[in-house]
Structure 1
Amino acid sequence: MRGDRRIDTECAGERDGVSQCERRVSGVTESYDRVNYTDIEPVSGAMRPLTDSLDSERVGVSIARCEPGWRSKPHDHAAEDHEEINVLLDGEATVVIDDEPVDLKAGDAVWIPPTATRQIRNGDVESAFVLVSGPATDRRSATCPDEPGSWVIDGFVG
C-alpha cells in the first residue's frame, strides 16, 4: 500500500521461465513479466540479456558475470542513441571509455554516453555487473504527478 493507493499482485504462471503477472493499482490493471537471470543463456561467455525475455521496449538490462581475464568487445550505442550505466556489484574491473580506462570496485557505477566506445576488461577475480541502457533523454523532462516538484529519470523518481 502506498499512500491511499491499494496494490494487489497476482501471477498466473510461467511461460518459458518468465512469470506472467498482473498488478492492480487503485483499480487499474498493469501486466508485467518476471524472469530469473540465471535461466537465461549467457552470450559471449558472460552477458545475460534480460531485455527480450522481459519484452522491454525502452530499457535494456543485462547481467554480466565475468570470469577472470574476460573482456567484452569494444562497441558503442550511437546508432540506437542509447546511453548506458554499468554498476559493478562484485569484484574489480576496468571499463574503457573512449580509450580511457576507468577502474571500478564493488559498488561503483559509471555512466556512458551513446557515442562513446566502451569495453569491460575484467581483472584477476570474478566480477558481476548490472548493465542498463536506454534512449538518451532530457533527465528532467518527465515529472511525477503524484509527487509535485519531483522528476522521473529513466523510471526512477528523484
Structure 2
Amino acid sequence: MTTTEREARMRPRARTRQYPSTALTRAAVEDARALALELAGLRPHQMVDASSLGIVVEPGETALRSVPIWLRWQVDGEWQAAQHCAALVTDQRVVVRLVTSGLRSFWWGSLVGLDIDLSAGHVVLDFGDGRPRALSGEAAPVVAVAGVAAAYGIEALATHEAIGPLRS
C-alpha cells in the first residue's frame, strides 16, 4: 500500500444525514482562536471544571475546554459508527465519555500521526496501533488547536498549515 493510499484510508468518509454539519461556525472558529491565544499566553485561560464531567486531571495538567464531539475509530480498515460524546480537551490529552463504555483518554504525547482537515470538520489521531480515532463536529477546531500546540509546540499555532483557516 502506498503512502497516498494509506492516508486516504485514514480519512473518514463523507458524512451521512445522521452526522452534524461540518461547516466551520463563527463560534467554533472564535473559540479555537481564543484557545490559541490562551495557549500562547496572550489571554487568561478559560476556567474549565473537569470534575463536573467526572474526570480527574493529572497534576500539572490544564483543562482547556469541555466540548461535545463525534468519535469514530477505524477497525480492520473500516470506520465504525460515530458516537456523540462529551469530551474534555486538555494540554495533555482529549478525554471522551462514551455513552456505553466509560472514559477513554487520547494522550497527545502518544501520537504518531495527526491529520487535521477543518474543511471536512475532523481531526484524526493516530497512535500507531492500527485504529486511528476521528474526532469531528463543531469542536474540531478546538481539538486541532490543542493537538497542534501539544504535538508541534506553541509556535506552530502561527505556522501550521492545517489550522490556517483559523488565522484568516
TM-score (ref. length: structure 2): 0.24
More helix by share: 2
More strand by share: 1
In our comparison, the structure showing a higher alpha carbon Rg is 1
TM-score (ref. length: structure 1): 0.26
